[in-house]
């Protein structure tokens, strides 16, 4: 039997050797027969590959100095996956829960077991640990324990507890929240498949980290648990590979389908072979993903070469670190040596795994790339919006200028129309009267009284045009009142008694100048016919608005015109003016008098 770590100080000791006894039915060690000295850590897969694992006892001697009485001592075990029990000098001092018929225990974190002061004795002490029999063909292993003051061991325990147990919990929570956010983006933007693949990778990595969080699994669910672990591990690597391919611009559907098929091999193999197949799936199927990781590195390096940007170099650097970490974990898990044997002494014995930390680095790198891509998309969208705003502003200014030009043209056109209308009215009305009167005077055909009548007619026509064409004269009722007032005296002087009925509401205020002129021209023509041709004693003028129609009626009690040609020209002129207004003119003559009726829609005469 070898005694390791004997010392005269209270410093923690780390035994390098122990006595081991393998006996499925062993009780407390009380015999020397069967014990053998082994080097710690004792990894059965490496030290005794051909021996069937069994409940195994480890007996370790250490020295407890006199000066340590004022300090609490403890036993620190970096791991004890399947649980076990601890005795100090034959006294049971601690227990790590073992698997039962109902539950399967798989402890990922470290253990710190207090050593009772009453069980310690000065000088040499004996610590016995029974490592539980691993179930279902799992590999047994026993670490290098550390024995010493709690004050020295507690920081070591807390550090390992954080990295092995607490950090996976943080990773799981972060993956859960991050995946919800990323998958929501993908759900809202299904065309952005990069976010979908990244969200899938985050979800699977969170599931994979549960193996470091959950220590107690119902035995009937163990195969499902391992199925989920292997599927999540392979699925995460698959999703990261597809992401790397697409970010690098190497979109090969046949390659993506091949990766998906390889990923399905492991879960199908485990489902078909059951628990006995788990060891083979772990060893060979997961090893194949190392080639996938190397492929990702190669593709990422090519992407860096093509893109020549610092951002593109983030992913290959993170992937190199992750692939090396995965290779390290694989070698440590299967006790094949590796970096832990020469680069990181003691890591293999303490079974320190790096993949679940380095993969976080890859996720952060990938999240950074997608965030950068998202920011670039926003910047591009902002630049596009600014360009569109500039174009819209230029087009608005152009439209405004065009509108101003069109408004100026419309004003010029309106002025031209107004001038043409004034010229036409002067030509047809005042100009025609003056020309005819001048011609008759030159021929000596007009008497002084007729000349005076002609001049009065010219003045009346001029006043009519001034009343209707004045810019401020937009009140049809006022214009109509002035018109009728002037005709009242003329009719009475001719022995005709006039009467007026005006029923025009406020809505007629907006009758256009052109419409007012045409309406009064029709009334003027009708009254002129009454004055010259009807031989009437009474005339009645009615103007009213009803049901959206403006009605003008001139009715006399005379016998009608003696000159058919003159009356015909007047009626034709009135009919033409009515048509210009969009209305209709009706003339009825008989023994009882003549009636001229005009009907015009109000919407045709309002401004």
Kindly indicate whether the domain formed by 473-604 is annotated with CATH number 3.30.565.10.
yes
Whether cis (ω within 30° of 0) applies to the bond prior to 49 is no
pLDDT per position as a tens digit, 232-286:
988 888 888 888 788 777 778 888 888 889 888 888 888 888 877 877 888 788 8
* Distance from the first to the final alpha carbon of the chain: 120
User: What DSSP letter does each residue of 537-578 carry, written as one string?
Assistant: SEEEEEEEEETTEEEEEEEE-S---S-HHHHHHHHHHHHHHH
Two tokens, residue 406:
């069109």
Q: What pLDDT is stored for residue 52 in this prediction?
A: 66
Return d(Cα 248, Cα 244) in angstroms, integer: 6
Kindly report the pTM of this predicted structure: 0.61
Question: Cα separation of 228 and 235, whole Å?
Answer: 10
Coil, strand, or helix at residue 336?
coil
- Residue 309 is predicted with a pLDDT of 66
Q: Within a 10 A sphere around the Cβ of 403, how many other Cβ atoms?
A: 10
User: Left (φ > 0), alpha (ψ -120 to 50) or beta: where does 554 sit?
Assistant: beta
Residues 6+ apart with CB under 8 A from 468: 479, 513, 516, 517, 520
| Helical segments of 426-447, H only | 432-442
Half-sphere exposure (Cβ direction) of 585: Cα atoms closer than 13 Å:
21
| Closest C-alpha to 26, from 103, 113, 132 | 132
Tokens of 560: 């009608």
Distance CA 573, CA 587 (A): 13
pLDDT at 28: 44
Question: Which residues share a beta bridge with 14?
Answer: none
543: helix, coil or strand? strand
Provide the pLDDT for residue 496.
86
Residue range 300-324: mean pLDDT, rounded: 72
Q: Average model confidence (pLDDT) for the chain?
A: 79
pLDDT bin (cut points 50, 70, 90) of residue 76 is very high
Predicted pLDDT of residue 158: 94
Fold match flag (17-158 vs 473-604): no
Alpha carbon distances (Å) from 461 to 440, 488, 496: 19, 15, 20
- The crossing angle, in degrees rounded to 10, of helices 476-493 and 513-529 is 20
pLDDT of residue 5: 31
DSSP state of 109: S
Mean pLDDT on 18-36: 58
Amino acid 73: pLDDT: 92
d(Cα 382, Cα 390) in Å, to the nearest integer?
A: 12
The SS3 call for residue 32 is coil
**Highest mean pLDDT: which of 100-104, 248-252, 322-326, 353-357?**
100-104
Q: Is the pLDDT of residue 472 over 70?
A: no
Q: What is the pLDDT of residues 175-186, one digit of tens each?
A: 999 899 889 988
* Domain residue spans of the chain: 17-158, 215-387, 473-604
Q: Determine the pLDDT at residue 91.
A: 92
The DSSP bridge partners found for residue 131 are 56, 84
- What's domain 17-158's architecture? Sandwich (2.60)
Measured between alpha carbons, how far is 112 from 274 in angstroms, rounded to an integer? Answer: 35
Quick one: pLDDT band at residue 75, thresholds 50, 70, 90?
A: very high
Separation CA 498–CA 486 (nearest Å): 12
Q: Is the pLDDT of residue 468 over 80?
A: no
138 versus 496: the higher-pLDDT residue is 496
């Amino acid at each position: 039997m070898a005694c390791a770590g004997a010392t005269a100080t209270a410093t923690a000791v780390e035994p390098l050797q122990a006595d081991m006894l393998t006996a499925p039915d062993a009780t407390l060690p009380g015999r020397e027969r069967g014990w053998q000295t082994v080097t710690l850590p004792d990894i059965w897969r490496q030290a005794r590959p051909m021996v069937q694992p069994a409940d195994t006892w480890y007996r370790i001697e250490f020295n407890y100095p006199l000066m340590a009485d004022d300090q609490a001592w403890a036993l620190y075990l970096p791991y004890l996956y399947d649980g076990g029990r601890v005795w100090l000098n034959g006294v049971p001092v601690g227990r790590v829960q073992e698997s039962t018929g109902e539950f399967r225990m798989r402890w990922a974190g470290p253990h710190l077991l207090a050593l009772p002061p009453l069980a310690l004795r000065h000088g040499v002490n004996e610590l016995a640990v029974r490592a539980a029999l691993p179930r279902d063909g799992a590999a047994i292993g026993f670490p290098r324990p550390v024995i010493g003051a709690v004050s020295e061991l507690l920081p070591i325990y807390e550090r390992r507890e954080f990295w092995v147990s607490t950090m996976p919990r943080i990773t799981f929570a972060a993956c859960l929240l991050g995946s919800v956010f990323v998958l929501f983006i993908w759900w809202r933007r299904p065309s952005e498949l990069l976010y979908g693949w990244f969200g899938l990778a985050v979800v699977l990595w969170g599931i994979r980290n549960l193996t470091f969080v959950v220590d107690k699994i119902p035995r009937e669910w163990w195969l499902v648990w391992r199925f989920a672990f292997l599927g999540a591990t392979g699925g995460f690597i698959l999703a990261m590979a597809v992401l790397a391919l697409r970010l690098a611009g190497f979109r090969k559907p046949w390659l993506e389908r091949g990766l998906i098929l390889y990923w399905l091999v492991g879960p199908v193999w485990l489902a078909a072979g059951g628990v006995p197949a788990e060891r083979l799936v772990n060893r060979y199927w997961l090893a194949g993903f190392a080639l996938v990781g190397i492929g990702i590195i190669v593709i990422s390096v090519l992407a860096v070469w093509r893109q020549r940007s610092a951002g593109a170099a983030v992913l290959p650097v993170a992937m190199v670190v992750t692939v090396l970490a995965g290779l390290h974990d694989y070698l440590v898990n299967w006790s094949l040596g590796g970096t832990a044997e020469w680069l990181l002494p003691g890591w293999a014995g303490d079974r320190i795994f790096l993949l679940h930390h380095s993969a976080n680095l890859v996720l952060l790198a990938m999240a950074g790339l997608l965030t950068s891509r998202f920011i670039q998309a926003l910047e591009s969208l902002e630049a596009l919006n600014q360009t569109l705003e500039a174009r819209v502003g230029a087009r608005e200014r152009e439209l405004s200028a065009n509108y101003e030009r069109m408004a100026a043209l419309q004003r010029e056109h309106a002025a031209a129309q107004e001038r043409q209308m004034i010229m036409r009215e002067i030509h047809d009305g005042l100009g025609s009267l003056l020309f005819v009167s001048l011609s008759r005077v030159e021929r000596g055909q007009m008497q002084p009284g007729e000349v005076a009548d002609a001049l009065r007619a010219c003045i009346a026509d001029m006043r009519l045009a001034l009343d209707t064409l004045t810019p401020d004269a937009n009140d049809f009722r006022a214009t109509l009142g002035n018109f009728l007032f002037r005709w009242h005296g003329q009719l009475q002087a001719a022995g005709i008694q006039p009467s007026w009925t005006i029923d025009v509401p406020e809505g007629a205020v907006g009758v256009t100048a052109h419409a007012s002129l045409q309406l009064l021209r029709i009334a003027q023509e009708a009254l002129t016919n009454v004055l010259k041709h009807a031989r009437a004693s009474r005339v009645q003028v009615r103007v009213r608005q009803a049901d959206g129609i403006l009605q003008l009626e001139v009715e006399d009690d005379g016998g009608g015109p003696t000159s058919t040609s003159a009356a015909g020209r007047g009626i034709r002129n009135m009919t033409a003016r009515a048509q210009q207004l969009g209305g209709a003119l009706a003339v009825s003559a008989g023994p009882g008098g003549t009636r001229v009726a005009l009907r015009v829609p109000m919407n045709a005469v309002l401004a």
